Chain A
Amino acid sequence: MASMTTTEPLDPAKLRADFPLLDGTRCGRPLVYLDSAASAQRPRAVLEAMDEYYATTHANVHRGVYRLAEEATRRFEEARARVGRLVNAPEPGREIVFTKNATEAINLVAYAWGRHELRRGDVVVLTEIEHHANLVPWLMLAEERGIELRYLPLGADFRLDLGELERTVDGARLVGVTLASNVLGTVVDVAPIVQAAHRAGALVLGDGAQLVPHRPVDVQALGIDLLAFTGHKMLGPTGIGALWARADLLEAMPPFLGGGEMIRDVRLDGFTPTDIPWRFEAGTPPIAEAIGLAAAIDYLEQVGLERIHQHEARLTAYAVERLEERYGDDLRIFGPRPDPEWRGGVISFAFGDIHPHDVAQVLDEHGICVRAGHHCAKPLMRCLGVGATTRASLYLYNDEHDVDRLVDALESVRDLFV
């Protein structure tokens, strides 16, 4: 494979020793964790960075004049710049807004930008494969403001159908699109969408929750205008995510939540918001979480995001091959054929007509964690004609043994229900 020529394959077994939750055994055997698309596990380095911060440096940020507070502020802002550099933000220190998660980052755009910019009849384009996080904030705005929502449809081979792209984005103000589907594993080729959207004068918001953790993402190369992603899917802590947006867009946006830190001045008859990015961060931010996220990014880059990408591509191909070879037509995968460039390590499937909850319950008995349900993508489930799927998702710490245990354990699912 292409990757082998440039980089040595990573060694998941060795990496697992860095992850307390995955190291060792549970109920007498190693845990097979195949649900990183829902939330990844975190390495000791992240836990230690947060502990060390609390033990040595904590004070509130952007408030105190004492040295401890200055040091906390410095580390918090360093973490921001670290996140900005990860996605190659032109101005890493000014263009990253810390949020609670990717969902809040998208809500921030819908509230701050959307409420300021959109009037009745304005068009926002989304896709049929979006996570609820990139649907509901816009549906709320449609109810409140009467904006029009259009959708790029799911096409053949579980990719977006861009046949009507030009017409769909015509007159639109914003196109919101996932960069990688949390159900199908499809990595969306955003280049044509960005071109068409920009020609039409629309901004492009990328939902990077499922892509940023798994390969190098460069907002300048992608040409998008806004990017939402989350910490806990990329080895970081829960409770922190980020919105990247071009500085000029942030400058033009009114605040999101109101409170401390986001103001320059407050009078009894009004307030003046402060500069970006702090304008969008009301109240005490998740400081330790930001430091944990920076440590997670350090870890990912030490391992190498391109190596992680290649590892997942190989493992996805192996998993699909094993599942198909063992179960044939009894197992239907909802996703594109393995493809290093355009498919990630999310494998959703139907197993006969056994309900995914039953599949997941029996797999749990074998020490295997998979997700069962609609994956917060109900419109997509309707497109696929199913109520739910079973989903196994792969990350840097998974290997062939995990896949083999999944494949073997599915036999006992079949024994019970068929």
Chain B
Amino acid sequence: MAGLEDLYREIILDHYRSPRNRGELPTPPAHRVEGFNPLCGDEVVLYLEVADGVVRDLRVAGQGCSISQSSASMMSAAVKGRPVGEARRLVRSFKAMMSVHEVSLGEDGSPSDDGPGDALDPSTLGELAALQGVVKFPVRIKCATLSWNTLSQGLDEIEQGDPVGS
């Protein structure tokens, strides 16, 4: 049986207590995107500044549980300064790590399209791997993936030429 220590790893609690890249950025030039988890009221607001194909800066606002907020903080630290393509690969890797349970539970009704090449390699995900324990708590998976889905949506919107959000 999964214990609480699988969920609340020290590194997660650290990001929860001292979130990185917290705040807002002026829009424009930044793009603002919101994500919600209707189940528990988690709310993540991302401010993305993308230029020359690189996530130059980003900030995280919103409120939510320790898992959603620490995951957002860890995400921000992981993608800041990275090329958009790399950020997207990271999103896929992270969601692959979280999707084992999601798919087997059929939550989305459709299997993940992440190929085996995107399977988690803990060495590339660094401290993000600490969130792996969340899959043992199916209800909390959506908390962990919220900021990543929101990032993905924001990057899509920027690519589709809606740089300031609507």
Contact = CB atoms under 8 A, between A and B. Distances in A.
B4 A387 contact: no
A355 B64 CA distance: 6
Contacts of B125: none
12 contacts: A355-B66, A357-B42, A357-B67, A357-B143, A358-B65, A358-B67, A361-B140, A373-B41, A387-B40, A416-B4, A417-B13, A417-B66
B4 A358 contact: no
B8 A355 contact: no
A358 B66 contact: yes
A356 interface: yes
| Interchain residue pairs A-B with the least CB separation, the first 6 | A387-B41, A355-B65, A357-B65, A388-B41, A357-B40, A358-B66
Interface in A362-379: 362, 365, 372-374, 378
Contacts of A417: 13, 16, 66
A374 B42 CA distance: 10
A381 interface: yes
A361 B7 contact: yes
Contacts, number: 47
B137 A361 contact: yes
A388 B40 CA distance: 7
Given A355-B66, A358-B66, A417-B13, A374 B7 contact: no
Interface in B90-144: 137, 140, 143
A404 B13 CA distance: 27
B43 interface: yes
Contacts of B8: 416
Contacts of A358: 65-67
Contacts of B67: 357-358
Contacts of B137: 361
A372 B13 CA distance: 20
Interface of A: 354-358, 361-362, 365, 372-374, 378, 381, 387-388, 416-417
B59 to A, nearest CB: 20
B63 interface: yes
Contacts of A372: 40
B110 to A, nearest CB: 26
Contacts of A378: 41
Contacts of A374: 40-41
Contacts of B63: 355, 387
Given A387-B64, A416-B13, A361 B41 contact: no
Contacts of B43: 387
A373 B140 contact: no
A381 B13 contact: no
A354 B40 CA distance: 13
Given A358-B65, A417-B13, 17 more contacts: A355-B65, A355-B69, A356-B40, A356-B65, A357-B40, A357-B140, A361-B4, A361-B7, A374-B40, A374-B41, A387-B40, A387-B63, A388-B40, A388-B41, A416-B8, A417-B16, A417-B66
A362 B39 CA distance: 18
Contacts of A361: 4, 7, 137, 140
A195 to B, nearest CB: 37
Given A362-B4, A417-B13, A381 B41 contact: yes
Given A387-B64, A417-B66, A365 B40 contact: no
A418 to B, nearest CB: 9
A63 B2 CA distance: 52
A417 B13 CA distance: 7
A356 B66 CA distance: 10
B131 to A, nearest CB: 15
Interface in B26-47: 39-43
Nearest to A353: B63
Contacts of B40: 355-357, 372-374, 387-388
Nearest to A355: B65
A159 B7 CA distance: 38
A356 B40 CA distance: 8
A35 to B, nearest CB: 14
A388 B64 CA distance: 9
